[in-house]
Amino acid sequence: MNHFTNICVYCGSSKGVRPEYESAAQEMGAELARRGLGLVYGGGSVGLMGVLARTVFAGGGKVTGILPRALAPRELSGHSVGDLEIVDTMHTRKARMADLADAFVALPGGYGTLEELFEVLTWAQIGYHRKPIGLLNVAGFYDPLLAMIDHGIQEGFIRPGFRALLISAETAADLLDRLSVHEMPAGVINGWK
């Protein structure tokens, strides 16, 4: 069983069009706070990022945001929540978030969320880390992505064992439970299963 201190959550700087997305960010934030888990996130106060951070903070949880200086005017509106580290580049942001995290979760989001998710998946695939990675699949948001991954496996571009790198669940509680007991298969860690 994995012992977590901090969970890195990737999510949108927008709230999206469905109210379920905002509700899921609140649910994840409340669940992190309830379990005493710290949040590591992109540092923004807008969109799902802001909803998530405010919920964790309101529940008494620790919040650490990592924000590139260039994005501060777009992703900060009003006061930041918790501890905010301003860094010079996106590369520094992502590396710092990964260093602080014991596991990774992606909520709905756009290109940035997908890019961050796939970077940590790739790092796991090549053995840079053994941290669990999960998707909060709100209202089927990630169904097409999961189908694309399965298609990549069928077409021989993704090794079948690498499918085990990504856990998916529909609720925050279920996802965090599943991540806490997830173990990387030995062959996946070596990159050859």
Average pLDDT value for residue range 101-121: 97
Label residue 148 by pLDDT band (50, 70, 90).
very high
Tell me the per-residue pLDDT of 43-90, one tens digit each, with 9 for 90 and over: 988 999 999 999 999 999 999 999 888 877 666 655 778 999 999 999
Q: Is residue 187 over pLDDT 60? A: no
174 CB-near residues (< 8 Å, 6+ apart)? none
Rounded Cα distance, 103 and 101, in Å: 5
Residue, of 21 and 3, whose pLDDT is higher: 21
Strand runs labelled E in the chain: 6-10, 38-41, 63-68, 83-87, 103-106, 133-136, 166-169
The phi and psi torsions of 130 (rounded to 5 degrees) equal: -125, 25
The DSSP letter of residue 37 is P
Domains annotated for the chain, with CATH where assigned, are 6-184 (3.40.50.450)
Please write the tens of the pLDDT for every residue from 113-144: 999 999 999 999 999 999 999 999 999 999 99
pTM across the whole model: 0.92
Contacts of 15 (CB under 8 A, 6+ apart): 21, 22, 47, 48, 51
